[in-house]
Structure 1
Amino acid sequence: MKVLEGIRVLDLSIAMSGPFAAMKLADLGADVVKVEPLAGEWQRHASAGGAQGNEVNASFLSLNRNKRSISVDLKNDEGIAAVHRLVETADVFLQNYRPGVAARLGVDYETLRAIKPDLVYVSVSGYGETGPYAQRPGQDVLLQAMSGALFSAGRPGEAPSPAPFFLVDAFAAYSAFEGAMAALFHRLRTGEGQLVQVNMLDAIIAAQMQEISVHTVGGVPQTRSEHIHAHSYIRAPYGVFPTSDGYLALSFAEPAVLAEALDEPRLAGLDAERDGFTRRDLISGLVEEHLRRGTTDHWLEKLAAAGIWCGPVYDYDALLRDPQVEHNQSFVSYDHPTEGRVTTPGFPFRLTATPQSVERPAPRNGEHTREVLRDLGFTRDDIRRLEKEGVVHAAPAGDA
């Protein structure tokens, strides 16, 4: 038996943060029913990085394993009635509409709490449910830019560089997952449901717990460096440095140890904690000058032998081939009915007694519409009529 077996989650979210949170619940055994519009969630049809599938694109596949799909017109009275009937059987409801949309559709917390008083309702927004920015688009790079993080690295005068992945979406997803689990635990002890509100802005602020506290508590300003340095609140050298044939990551090296490894006497008398901050550019500049003279493999071997923390800089192909990644089984592969063999990142934590697994591939749009409606007591004739009238969509009979 899996940890969340017997828990039903209704996932009405789109894009990344909501679907990712719901998938984490599904991976732990929850019955996650993805409620989609008749044409399917838009991310089914929007290619991520140009990775267009046969019927389902890579981004959708990566965020929706272990779910069932029901396709319903929420603007139709019978459609919303069917969803309300589904809410009666649910434990968790998750949505990431812009503030006000859920109420217009009749799936806001107050409406659904009247149907299911012990419901855990998770609402994910960009900036919060209320306030001056409530209606702004909660897009990842916009929130990275607003978060303050981008001025903790890079060179003065250069444009800040955002993270090359959806960092804020990921932190919001983990926050929504944590909130849902905490509220389920509270319900287990008290029988009470509750509203869980998550916003992307607070999630990325909380993720910078150490950095922002150095500023607010310690009064230390963010200071960008003229030379390579990846984090304004960590002593030099710290970051990714070029070698003669590639790049190398370097972290927390003692200047005296570096002086010997690089044969650079100018580093020998420097103090790590004092000069590592006050003479950051000098240290980083000298390290960069020397590392350019040798290959990555040469420096990895020499620096590691001296006890200096260093490592390779991978692209995705190299990551997939890494022996530790293979040992950890960091990726999962499964067969999809239209996309063939699918490989995606796996599970970030492991449970020894109740391990996670891929039980279902990402569903086709409406693949489980008939199955879910039958579970709710709809007759075959009822379902046929709803399909004919365009209230629900079901995958072709041979595929459902």
Structure 2
Amino acid sequence: MSSGLFGDLLVIDCASFIAGPAAATVLGDFGARVIKIEPPGIGDAYRNLFRLRGTPDDVDYFWTLDNRNKESLSLDLGRPEARAVLHALVTRADVFITNVPMPARGRLGVRAQDLRPLNPRLIYASLSPYGEHGPERDRTGFDSTVWWARSGLMDMVRPSAGAEPSLSMPGMGDHPTAMAMYGAIVTALYRRQLTGEGAEVTTSLLANGLWSNSCQVQAALCGYELTGRPARGARGALNEMYRAADDRYFIISSTNPARDWPLLARATGHADWLTDPLFATPEARLANGAILVARFDETFAARPFAHWAKILTEGDVTFGIVGQIYDHLGDEQIEANGLFPEIADGEGLRTVDSPFQIVGEAKAPPRMAPAIGAHTEALLRELGCSPAEVDALAAG
């Protein structure tokens, strides 16, 4: 038994790439024992993404992030004897996570109806691109094609109405989807505590994409006609992006213009604008939004961001820098909240923590993600396989 809140849980990660495995990672962060099932030789196809990006073969940062604290069991589930091993493992497991494409699940023996009868307390967690039902249930998909593109987020997040849609970043929709999968699993575990029964839980990239874009989708459901990305100034100067003298961008955000407009005007040294007929009323500021934004553009372009960060903070104006990746290294706020824990066996390497804490419950120290089949022989022996069976199965 492992230590931690979920130290008595055994989780089988029979998934690939990010969303399913990352849900297992969060369970592992809180102490669950996570066994990852991988095909012999090639392993999870996610391992190849690192090399496809042309990164020098040093630390596979994708794999390090999403498969920490796991054991790797290499099984060819196309072989009956390998499926028998998986089924033996399922009888001991609490959670089984998969995103194997629907058409392949029956062939590999990993459908809910294949596994749940083996263990009535099992939580069978199914992730799919488009959902369990309907004409697209068998389609393949990634977060870029479903969560980002199909949901409408890609169409709506543009620099301007006429600009082309932008591609998403790796894992951008997968990691939020993983949190939905985690939430479904934990909810089912609570239900099991009440009833003693296992459950089948599902989520999809499509469902999570629609949820992420739900403010706009709900508007459409209510019959509103949404226009494209508004031009600068159309939202008002209190909800706009600006550029400082050192080419650092930042955004200002307000949900209470009556309060925030005087704060911003005074903080930037333009108290006189409060009585300027162009800006003196909410109606005037909206009608002359482009003019006001242009004036703030000129103001903010005169000084570097550090100057404006101090001024706006002291002025109680809500703002945020448009962060760049390397800003996060050594960031005092990130360090204070322990968001980059050190990997215990990583020789000083750190990783990104899962995004919530339970006060009074320590997370498991991160350990390096496993090599393909690193724990196969030990796990097969643990499951009672004979030396000959271990040799045959370990050979793939």
Residues 353/301 of structure 1: CA separation in 2 closer, same or farther (3 Å cut): closer
Pair 1:300 & 2:304 matched: no
Query: Which residue is equivalent to 1:374?
Result: 381
Structure whose residues are more often strand by fraction: 1
1:99–1:130: 8 Å Cα contact kept in structure 2?
Answer: no
Provide the TM-score with structure 1 as the length reference. Answer: 0.86
Distance 2:164 2:285 in 1: 25
Query: Which residue is equivalent to 2:239?
Result: 238
1:291 is displaced (CA, Å) by: 1.6
Equivalent position SS for 2:12: strand
Query: Which residue is equivalent to 1:201?
Result: 206
Aligned residues: 380
Q: Structure 1 stretch 59-68 or stretch 131-140: which is displaced more?
A: 131-140
Query: Which residue is equivalent to 1:149?
Result: 153
Aligned residue identity for 1:125: S
1:156–1:225: 8 Å Cα contact kept in structure 2?
Answer: yes
Distance 1:218 1:152 in 2: 21
> Which residue, 195, 214, 217 being the options, matches 1:212?
217
> Which residue, 176, 187, 190 being the options, matches 2:192?
187
1:360 is displaced (CA, Å) by: 3.2
1:51–1:58: 8 Å Cα contact kept in structure 2?
Answer: no
Distance 1:61 1:322 in 2: 21
Structure 2 unpaired stretches of 5+? none
Distance 1:275 1:208 in 2: 31
Aligned residue identity for 1:36: E
Query: Which residue is equivalent to 1:358?
Result: 365
Query: Which residue is equivalent to 1:174?
Result: 179
Distance 1:217 1:255 in 2: 31
Equivalent position SS for 2:187: helix
> Which residue, 107, 115, 126 being the options, matches 1:112?
115
Deviations 1:348-379 (A, max 9, x none): 22223321022532112111112211221113
Structure 1 runs (4+) deviating above 4 angstroms are: 274-283
Residues 280/74 of structure 1: CA separation in 2 closer, same or farther (3 Å cut): farther
**1:247-262 alignment, distance < 5 Å:** 247=248, 248-252=250-254, 254-260=260-266, 261-262=268-269
> Which residue, 327, 330, 335 being the options, matches 2:339?
330
CA RMSD of aligned residues (A): 2.6
1:14–1:42: 8 Å Cα contact kept in structure 2?
Answer: yes
Distance 1:71 1:181 in 2: 27
1:182 is displaced (CA, Å) by: 0.7
1:238 is displaced (CA, Å) by: 2.6
Residues 235/201 of structure 1: CA separation in 2 closer, same or farther (3 Å cut): farther
2:342–2:366: 8 Å Cα contact kept in structure 1?
Answer: no
Aligned residue identity for 1:382: E
Residues 322/345 of structure 1: CA separation in 2 closer, same or farther (3 Å cut): same
Deviations 1:248-302 (A, max 9, x none): 232216334333325272564142xx67777654543433233222221222222
1:131 is displaced (CA, Å) by: 1.9
Aligned residue identity for 1:333: E
Distance 2:203 2:288 in 1: 41
1:8–1:32: 8 Å Cα contact kept in structure 2?
Answer: yes
Query: Which residue is equivalent to 1:397?
Result: none
Query: Which residue is equivalent to 2:293?
Result: 284
Q: Structure 1 stretch 177-186 or stretch 320-329: which is displaced more?
A: 320-329
